[in-house]
Chain A
């Protein structure tokens, strides 16, 4: 079978998980205490109005039937209405995908930009002061709260140095990029701690590997051996590590969006929770879950591309 055949078969395997996600999202909203219709209409509504709305939204049906309606609506991209924004949920979310997407992708790129040099330095200069400092960073960095780190970066780079905007999202590509630097750096600093730690360990193992010895026996200089043999091999487990942390990454972006007032999905979620805008909570949760599944799929693709031995 072709190595990339899983691109076709994997979606089939994911169907149970996607069903699970939809069931959980459905029951999330179903388990809200109190009557959703009274919530919608207010406490002074007449019994007739309540009954009408009940019938209109299919709330008088049994739970399984309601779930099927929910699924049917989902396939049409129908996720209900936002009480606060007075508009359908899906377009509301769509408006806010870009900042979140940029934040997640930018953070991962920046993480690699930080972690690869640091891990290389630590692995090549093992046992030196630089290695100890980097190891200290990886142990302490795990415990840095992203929201606090963000504020510290704002104090340093925006308030004191005036290099970056304090909050918000730009209009054109360039100002957007400018606004994204600090949020991405915030997430990347926290994430690069764990990535550096992992990458350093696998680089040390690869430096001592048989194939690195064989490469040295070809008369190749250490820098070449590192770049061409050690680095590609030690990046493979890093892809896996990033895949495991996709959920963490998205969770972190929710908090960081709030810190920097980025108009993304995370900020939408937090506001919806405050305003009890349950349809939006449900929609954003659902989209985030699907994004997690999708990103894991992308990580699988990258793994297959990076490691010719892997078959999925």
Chain B
């Protein structure tokens, strides 16, 4: 059984569906890359998995999020609190703003231990030191009483990982964890995540718009565009031979791809604005292969190997 199974998830702002038809699967120890341009719905999908959508603005309208076989969508807020931080940890793009500036790092790690496990101050402190050591912060016992602004950007991101792992969750959702960091620090943080995966058997959802990050770290991949999953499957297959034209276009835009840097192509046109998505395949106005049939919505179907693609032209091999 997979650790996490998302089925047919849809999120709306008022009457506008921002995200729909989201299907994701994740097993123990797997790293899933959730890829897409900004505005494709990656971040609100992650928030929806934690049921942390801003109240009164966004809500889940359909679908299920099964964690260890239990659907989180119908859970009460109180039951959900026992999931957040305990079964699923979350780290964010900007460690500067997501750590409380006036609380000591150690206390920010310890508070969920104290709340969820009722640990004593001393035990929680010990756990905090241990966690800081695990995420590779030197002199953890000394750094525990530091404030976030006394840490460098990379250290802050490590500290946030320690906060997220405080109650030993099985799943970590990492929302663009390296975007705000220097390139050298990015690699260190990614290595740390993989290291934690290996040591703790952690499953990770890694949200990113950087395919280079994906290539280095992920086992499988889900490509999102305009609120839908375009293609998903094992990383190797998707990167080597993308079935969806959008994945293909995305790959071509990456520096270091086949094309010389001087003529790095861009995908023509603009991604659609939320709520005014085109009919049928949402990529078709920008797709080089678009045809009349693309005005009908393609389903996410097997497209060779273990991959699934939502494109009328990503024909399954048997049909060929």
A233 contact set on B, CB distance < 8 A: 100-102
Q: Is B163 an interface residue (CB 8 A)?
A: yes
Residues in A226-244 with C-beta less than 8 Å from chain B: 228-229, 232-233, 236
A309–B146 Cα distance when bound, in Å, is 11
Q: Is B277 an interface residue (CB 8 A)?
A: no
- Cβ-defined contact, A214 with B101, below 8 A: no
Residue of A nearest to B46 (CB): A217
Residue of B nearest to A212 (CB): B100
Q: 0/1 per residue, A274-312, Cβ < 8 Å to B?
A: 000000000000000000000000000000001111000
Q: Is B111 an interface residue (CB 8 A)?
A: yes
- Cβ-defined contact, A217 with B97, below 8 A: no
Q: 0/1 per residue, A202-221, Cβ < 8 Å to B?
A: 00000011110111111111
Q: Is B191 an interface residue (CB 8 A)?
A: no
- Cβ-defined contact, B50 with A217, below 8 A: yes
B163 contact set on A, CB distance < 8 A: 214, 218
- Cβ-defined contact, B115 with A224, below 8 A: yes
- Cβ-defined contact, A213 with B52, below 8 A: yes
A13–B102 Cα distance when bound, in Å, is 28
Q: Is B82 an interface residue (CB 8 A)?
A: yes
A236–B149 Cα distance when bound, in Å, is 16
Q: Is B90 an interface residue (CB 8 A)?
A: yes
- Cβ-defined contact, A219 with B102, below 8 A: no
Q: Is B92 an interface residue (CB 8 A)?
A: yes
A221 contact set on B, CB distance < 8 A: 81, 115
- Cβ-defined contact, B84 with A219, below 8 A: yes
Residues in A10-44 with C-beta less than 8 Å from chain B: none
- Cβ-defined contact, B102 with A236, below 8 A: yes
Q: Contacts A224-B115, A228-B111, A308-B149 given: A217-B90 contact, CB under 8 Å?
A: yes
Residue of B nearest to A127 (CB): B56
A236 contact set on B, CB distance < 8 A: 102
Q: Contacts A213-B52, A308-B149, A309-B149 given: A218-B84 contact, CB under 8 Å?
A: yes
Q: Is B85 an interface residue (CB 8 A)?
A: yes
Q: Contacts A210-B92, A219-B116, A228-B111 given: A309-B101 contact, CB under 8 Å?
A: yes
A288–B167 Cα distance when bound, in Å, is 54
Q: Is B26 an interface residue (CB 8 A)?
A: no
- Cβ-defined contact, A229 with B103, below 8 A: yes
- Cβ-defined contact, A220 with B97, below 8 A: no
Residue of B nearest to A236 (CB): B102
- Cβ-defined contact, B86 with A219, below 8 A: yes
A62–B118 Cα distance when bound, in Å, is 76
Q: Is B135 an interface residue (CB 8 A)?
A: no
**A229, A306, A309: which contacts B147 (Cβ < 8 A)?**
A309
Chain A: minimal CB distance from B207 (Å): 14
A307 contact set on B, CB distance < 8 A: 101-102
Q: Is B295 an interface residue (CB 8 A)?
A: no
Residue of B nearest to A216 (CB): B52
A208–B98 Cα distance when bound, in Å, is 11
- Cβ-defined contact, A211 with B97, below 8 A: yes
- Cβ-defined contact, A220 with B102, below 8 A: no
Q: Which of A211, A214, A233 has the most CB of B within 10 A?
A: A214
Q: Is B64 an interface residue (CB 8 A)?
A: no
A127–B81 Cα distance when bound, in Å, is 26
- Cβ-defined contact, B111 with A218, below 8 A: yes
- Cβ-defined contact, A220 with B111, below 8 A: yes
Q: Is B160 an interface residue (CB 8 A)?
A: yes
Residues in B122-176 with C-beta less than 8 Å from chain A: 147, 149-150, 160, 163-164, 166-167
B94 contact set on A, CB distance < 8 A: 210
Residue of B nearest to A309 (CB): B149
A26–B167 Cα distance when bound, in Å, is 66
Q: Is B250 an interface residue (CB 8 A)?
A: no
B86 contact set on A, CB distance < 8 A: 219
Chain B: minimal CB distance from A239 (Å): 12
Residues in B91-127 with C-beta less than 8 Å from chain A: 92, 94, 97-103, 111-112, 115-116
Q: Is B5 an interface residue (CB 8 A)?
A: no
Q: Contacts A217-B52, A309-B147 given: A211-B98 contact, CB under 8 Å?
A: yes
Q: Contacts A211-B98, A213-B98, A224-B115 given: A218-B103 contact, CB under 8 Å?
A: no
B80 contact set on A, CB distance < 8 A: 219
**A209, A220, A228: which contacts B85 (Cβ < 8 A)?**
A220
Residue of A nearest to B150 (CB): A308
B98 contact set on A, CB distance < 8 A: 210-211, 213-214
A164–B182 Cα distance when bound, in Å, is 65
Chain B: minimal CB distance from A5 (Å): 17
- Cβ-defined contact, A219 with B111, below 8 A: no
**B83, B90, B92, B112: which contacts A220 (Cβ < 8 A)?**
B112
Chain A: minimal CB distance from B176 (Å): 13
Besides A219-B116, A220-B111, A309-B147, 14 new A-B residue pairs in contact (Cβ under 8 A), listed by A number = A208-B54, A209-B97, A210-B92, A210-B94, A211-B99, A214-B98, A214-B160, A217-B90, A217-B164, A218-B111, A224-B115, A232-B102, A232-B103, A307-B101
List residues of A whose CB falls within 8 A of some B CB. Answer: 208-211, 213-221, 224, 228-229, 232-233, 236, 306-309
List residues of B whose CB falls within 8 A of some A CB. Answer: 50, 52, 54, 80-86, 89-90, 92, 94, 97-103, 111-112, 115-116, 147, 149-150, 160, 163-164, 166-167
> Can you report 23 residue pairs joining A to B where beta carbons are below 8 Å apart?
A209-B97, A210-B97, A210-B98, A211-B99, A211-B101, A213-B92, A213-B98, A214-B98, A214-B99, A216-B84, A217-B85, A218-B166, A219-B81, A219-B84, A219-B85, A219-B86, A219-B112, A220-B112, A232-B103, A233-B102, A307-B101, A308-B147, A309-B101
Closest 6 A/B residue pairs (Cβ):
A219-B85, A219-B84, A210-B97, A218-B85, A218-B112, A214-B98
